[in-house]
Structure 1
Amino acid sequence: MVKIFTLPNKEEWISYVGNAAEYDFYHTWHYHSLETAGTPVLFIYEQAETYIGFPLLRRKIPVSDYSDLTCVYGFSGPFSNKKFGEIDEVMMENFKTAFNNFLINEKYVSVFVRLHPFYKQQKLLEKFGGIHENGKTVVLDLSVTIDEQRKKYRQSTMDAIKHAWRKGFTIVDETNAAGMKTFVEIYTDNMKRVGATSYYMFNENYFSEILNTSEYEARILTVYYNDVSIASTIVTFTNGIIQAHLVGTRAEYLHHSPTKFLADYITQIGREKGMKYYNLGGGLGFKNDKLFEWKSAFSDLHLDFKTWRYIVNPEVYRKLLQDKGIEENTEVDFFPLYRYA
């Protein structure tokens, strides 16, 4: 049985996600309700006692009768009330048929999804083809003691944390209106300084709404030095996983590396909350860049990050490329290519 839910179906969306064997805050109704990049859609395929859900964002393709599907910012992909390794082949094949029919009937050209590095979603989606290796994400394992964890830090990382201790840095839970203003100021200045695209420039209402839900827990943590806020982050706690969602540091305090002190502290909070992992994420565009090196200085546990890039209608896909004068075999790492530039 196929069911299609949109944002007005709040209770149904929350119920299916909440009963899943594995999910993160990226799958929730609330997080999707904040999206402006497309219209949220939840596809459900249900068979006997098992279901597979797939939250996506519908986007109209300009000057055409077609649409495509993408995902929210972060790691989403399909979920189920069983772990993907426990779903039988017949169920997965039936899901493939049902989902393909949905894509064709609704005139979708392509689907782009960032898969969750902790879940074996590729076991399902590799049946369609289009699984793409994107790089690695750095993870801290909270099942070990804090001392064991710190033994894996590079010396420069541990030195920065000790420096913060000596300087008397403090971390305050500022999940309130005042803390939100502080975070927005630091984060926005940080993004402008590094030349981030408009994709990362969220407004204050977005940040405020991130915190305003019972579907997951999100906190604002701010580092202070001599009563001055010098770095701030929004982190989420869902199903044993901490996600480093957004973070920023004031330029004049970068040399103190306060976010290293902050990351170490967050793992201690995570242990108190019974979390299993703290996902730091990868490099910019999940490349092995300076940001990835910075994160790798905390842990040698690196998980594969994959995307799903599926062309539903190759004929229309090629036509859209031709209309924009784009070569189909270009080396540009972008999908779908007809939306490039």
Structure 2
Amino acid sequence: MSDLKGFNMDIYFREEYAKIYELNGEGKTTIFTWEGELGKVRYIFLKREINLLKEKYYDIITPYGYGGPQFFPKEHKNLRDLIFKFKEHFEDYCSKNRIISEFIRFHPLLKNHSLMEIYMNIINIGDTINLFLSSEDDIMLNMKKSSRYSIRKAVEKGMKVERDNSDKSWNNFIDLYYQTMNRNQAKEYYYFSKTYFGNIRSLLKERAQIFNVVYENKVISSMLVLVGEQFIHSHLLGIASEYRKERFGRFFDYSIALWGLRRGCKHYHLGGGYGGREDSIFKYKKSLAKNGRLSFYVGNKVHNKKVYDELSKIHEKNNPEVTGKNLDYFPLYRR
């Protein structure tokens, strides 16, 4: 793996995390680095081949989750100039490497979208929720009263939350996850394969943790939590069908938050609603952190408009059903 010294290595910026999605067939893990008198830049992404023309072209995207370039100026006053240097060098890199377009899911906690407004088109697509892990009292006080009540009731019922990375626990999590996807009629992409989960486990090791809710001597829910240096992230969740109406969710997240606090982490990022909407999932998460709302941004950039437009036209010709639809999708030739 690359030398990570000097970089903020939240889980999403680690090479082994991107490798999971390379092995999932989503592109080649690529790291662009630049260093000069102003500072240094590191940018990890997936490079995807485009198979619509005889010539080879590519586009790039951050892996599932969050990402973007990391800027480390030698002095804070140099930051803007460093970003301009990145722009100059990376645009040249994209031209030489036949990269047509670029898409970034920015990190809500790091707010790194603000660094890229001089470089690409930035779009706010919704909000996410974060629990600040300052103290046990503050975690509780930041919740709505109904959430605190729900936690007390779960404790009274005898529910427990256990961290368990055994083979049995991972297999049980995967089964519950598939149950949940079936019940929610999820999109095909979210039916991650068992190989995908195996790669998470083998590549991330202790940075991938399984937490279980145990009730009536049975695991009724499991969550895969990703662990960075300062942040922990709720990644994927599975719930047993027969227990989905039990009110244990707030107790589950609260227990994971306490684990993160004791580990020395500063934030537990819960994510947002489905597709960035303020739906029931979002409202549930908000009930856990009244002051934890964060904006989620994405960015897109066309590096070669002529070829981008040509690819989009070919894609429409080959798939007439997409014509005039999802015009805000990026890139258009992958609708």
More off after superposition, 325-334 vs 63-72: 325-334
Q: What is the aligned counterpart of 2:14 among 28, 31, 37?
A: 28
Given the alignment, which residue of 94, 101, 104 partners 2:92?
Answer: 101
Structure-2-length-normalised TM-score: 0.90
Shift of 1:101: 0.5
Give secondary structure in 2 for the equivalent of 1:69. strand
Specify the alignment match of 2:256 in structure 1: 266
What does 1:1-341 correspond to in 2, within 5 Å?
10=1, 13=2, 15=3, 17-20=4-7, 22-35=8-21, 36-48=25-37, 50-64=39-53, 65=55, 66-82=57-73, 87-143=78-134, 145-213=135-203, 217-300=207-290, 301-325=292-316, 332-340=327-335
Question: Separation in 2 of the partners of 1:254 and 1:148?
Answer: 28
- Aligned 8 A contact 1:84 1:120 in 2: no
Which secondary structure state, in structure 2, belongs to the residue aligned with residue 212 of structure 1?
helix
1:203-255 deviation digits (Å, cap 9, x = unpaired): 22322332335686221111111111100011122121111111111121111
> How far apart, CA to CA, are the structure 2 residues paired with 1:227 and 1:215?
27
Preserved contact between residue 73 and residue 82 of structure 2 (Cα < 8 Å): no
Aligned residues of 1:115 and 1:307 also touching (Cα < 8 A): yes
Q: Percent identity?
A: 27
> Cα–Cα, structure 1 residues 100 and 49, in superposed 2: closer, same or farther, change >3 Å?
closer
- Aligned residues of 2:59 and 2:101 also touching (Cα < 8 A): yes
Q: Deviations over 1:93-118 (max 9, x none)?
A: 11111000111111111111101112
SS of 1:158's partner is: helix
1:19, distance to aligned residue in structure 2 (A) = 2.4
Contact 2:45 2:60 in 1 (8 A): yes
User: Partner of 2:66: helix, strand, or coil?
Assistant: coil
The count of corresponding residues between Structure 1 and Structure 2 is 325
**Residue type at the aligned position of 2:46:** L
CA contact (8 A) 2:58 2:99 kept: yes
Moved more, 263-272 or 127-136: 127-136
Give RMSD over aligned pairs: 2.2
In structure 2, runs of 5+ residues without a counterpart are none
Structure 2 counterpart SS, 1:153: coil
Name the SS for the 2:310 alignment partner.
Answer: helix
Residues in 1 aligned to 2:112 and 2:78: alpha-carbon distance in whole angstroms: 11
- The offset of 1:149, in angstroms, is 2.2
Which residue identity is paired with 1:177?
A: D
Aligned-pair CA distance for 1:81: 4.0
- Alpha carbons of structure 1 residues 272 and 287: separation in structure 2 relative to 1, 3 Å: same
Structure 1, gaps ≥5 residues long? 1-9
Shift of 1:328: 9.3
Cα distance in structure 2, aligned partners of 1:87 and 1:198: 45
- In structure 1, what residue type is equivalent to 2:189? Y
Q: 1: distance between equivalents of 2:172 and 2:205?
A: 24
